[in-house]
């Protein structure tokens, strides 16, 4: 019997890889709904190829174009947040949640109501509202299956033992485009240089988060909520080959690791079917051909965003939500050429410091998280507007 699936973020990189997995296994899946951002024609083409029942565009102004592009197909459509939430709440066995940024938080949370499996690729659901999101998932009976290669690898490795026997769970980082650069050269790097990820093909914002290592810090916060592991049991290793994605050190000294070639279709297939592995026509890992796997500690002096994220995880409360919001605003300013590379971490640190003095509690709901997010964004924008020349 075919599994029904909804794809939130169908036109992004994760969505496109998910489409490839589904098309390679047409008999295994029936597509209930697809959601896109602004590109009506791209979403219509995805809906046609996958035979979706419903298509929703986040951009309300594109509703007419989407309806016209789907004319004669029998595929229903809608636009705006109500349509996106309708798509998320439709009954489906699996919801692939890949809308990036805080825009994906409300739809991903809405998808919990069906009580199915959430194949999670939206970081903000856990970084911004982790405790509340996981509590609601338990209440709804929804299974959270991570799609990020690092968390997916950890999820598989952790199946080898009990949570209480975990000494350390480690996610890996390629080190980004500036891994071997001296600090002086990094300080002068352009957004184009920062966006040139050495391994993965992702969006510009995520690429820059990888260059600052903020992405790894956010992934530590995710891992904390996904696997119920405290900060002292989580760590990061730089691994340029991107073959080992996550590993677990057990208290008896044994290590269980998740290895795969860097292709997002591997963790996506695992998240969609989990214990029933799909046969994938992909290149196989040949360790003899690779010959060498290298590891090193991240340099938190050259990449202070990782330290800031670790501190936010340790502090708890609303600080992870604030960290993420300030980072999004700072990265946007860097991409626009308004500030330098190291000003990203400076903005994040200043905003987090301002809010930490208030002692805000962790968000108790998604609405609460979004309100804190907006307040932190406003503070970051104000800081940028009044900043002295050291941020420029």
pLDDT tens for each residue of 225-244: 999 999 999 999 999 999 99
∠ CA(208), CA(214), CA(215), 5° rounding? 75
- Measure the CA–CA gap between 154 and 147, rounded to whole angstroms: 11
- Cβ contacts of 232 within 8 Å, gap of 6 or more: none
Instruction: Indicate whether 175 pLDDT > 60.
Output: yes
- Residue 40 is predicted with a pLDDT of 97
- Residue 46 is predicted with a pLDDT of 98
The beta-carbon contacts of 85-89 under 8 Å, at least 24 apart in sequence, are 85/110, 86/54, 86/56, 87/6, 87/8, 87/33, 87/34, 87/35, 87/54, 87/55, 87/56, 88/6, 88/8, 88/33, 88/35, 89/113, 89/114
Q: Give the pLDDT band (50/70/90) at residue 7.
A: very high
Structural domain spans, the chain: 3-146, 148-262+281-314, 316-392
Architecture in CATH of 316-392: Orthogonal Bundle (1.10)
Instruction: Indicate whether 179 pLDDT > 60.
Output: yes
Instruction: Indicate whether 152 pLDDT > 70.
Output: yes
Other C-beta atoms lying within 10 Å of the C-beta of residue 192? 9
More confident residue, 97 or 273: 97
- Across the range 92-97, mean pLDDT stands at 97
- Residue 338 is predicted with a pLDDT of 96
- Residue 356 is predicted with a pLDDT of 81
- Residue 86 is predicted with a pLDDT of 97
Which pTM value belongs to this model? 0.94
More confident residue, 249 or 103: 249
- If you average pLDDT over every residue of the chain, what do you get? 95
Instruction: Indicate whether 389 pLDDT > 60.
Output: no
Which tokens in the block code for residue 203? 């969006």
- Residue 199 is predicted with a pLDDT of 77
User: Do the Cβ atoms of 102 and 373 come closer than 8 Å?
Assistant: yes
Sheet holding 234-238, edge to edge: 234-238, 166-173, 244-250, 255-259
- Across the range 145-171, mean pLDDT stands at 97
Top CATH class, 3-146: alpha beta
Range with lowest mean pLDDT among 13-17, 181-185, 196-200, 290-294:
196-200
Torsion, Cα 267 269 274 280, to 10 degrees, reads: -110
- Across the range 316-341, mean pLDDT stands at 97
DSSP letter assigned to residue 333: H
- Residue 2 is predicted with a pLDDT of 87
Which tokens in the block code for residue 75? 């595929």
pLDDT tens for each residue of 251-303: 999 999 999 999 999 999 999 987 789 999 999 999 999 999 999 999 999 99
Instruction: Indicate whether 110 pLDDT > 60.
Output: yes
- Across the range 350-379, mean pLDDT stands at 92
């Amino acid at each position: 019997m075919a599994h029904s699936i909804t794809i939130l973020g169908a036109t992004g990189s994760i969505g496109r890889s998910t489409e490839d997995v589904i098309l390679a296994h047409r008999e295994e899946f029936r597509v209930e709904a697809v959601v896109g951002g602004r590109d009506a024609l791209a979403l219509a083409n995805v809906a046609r190829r996958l035979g979706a029942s419903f298509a929703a565009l986040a951009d309300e102004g594109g509703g007419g174009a989407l309806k016209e592009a789907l004319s004669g197909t029998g595929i229903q459509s809608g636009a705006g947040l109500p349509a996106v939430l309708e798509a998320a709440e439709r009954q489906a066995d699996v919801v692939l949640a890949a809308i990036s940024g805080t825009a994906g938080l409300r739809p991903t949370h809405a998808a919990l109501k069906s009580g199915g499996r959430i194949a999670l690729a939206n970081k903000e659901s856990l970084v911004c509202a982790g405790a509340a999101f996981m509590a609601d998932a338990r209440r709804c009976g929804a299974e959270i299956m991570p799609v990020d290669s690092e968390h997916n690898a950890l999820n598989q490795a952790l199946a080898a033992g009990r949570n209480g026997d975990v000494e350390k769970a480690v996610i890996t980082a390629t080190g980004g485009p500036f891994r071997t650069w001296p600090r002086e050269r990094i300080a002068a790097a352009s957004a184009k240089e920062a966006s040139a990820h050495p391994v993965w093909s992702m969006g510009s914002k995520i690429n820059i988060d990888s260059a600052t290592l903020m992405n790894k810090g956010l992934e530590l916060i995710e891992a904390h909520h996904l696997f119920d592991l405290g900060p002292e049991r989580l760590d990061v290793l730089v691994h340029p080959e991107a073959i080992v994605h996550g590993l677990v050190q057990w208290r008896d000294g044994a290590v269980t690791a998740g290895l795969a070639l860097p292709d997002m279709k591997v963790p996506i297939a695992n998240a969609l079917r989990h214990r029933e592995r799909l046969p994938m026509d992909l290149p196989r890992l040949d360790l003899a051909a690779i010959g060498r796997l290298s590891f090193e500690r991240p340099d938190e002096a050259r990449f202070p965003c990782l330290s800031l994220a670790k501190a936010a995880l340790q502090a708890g409360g609303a600080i992870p939500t604030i960290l993420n919001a300030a980072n999004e605003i700072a990265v946007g300013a860097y991409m626009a050429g308004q500030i330098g590379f190291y000003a990203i971490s400076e903005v994040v640190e200043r905003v987090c410091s301002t809010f930490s003095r208030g002692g805000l509690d962790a968000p108790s709901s998604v609405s609460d998280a979004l309100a804190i997010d907006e307040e932190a964004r406003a503070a970051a924008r104000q800081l940028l507007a009044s900043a002295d020349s050291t941020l420029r």
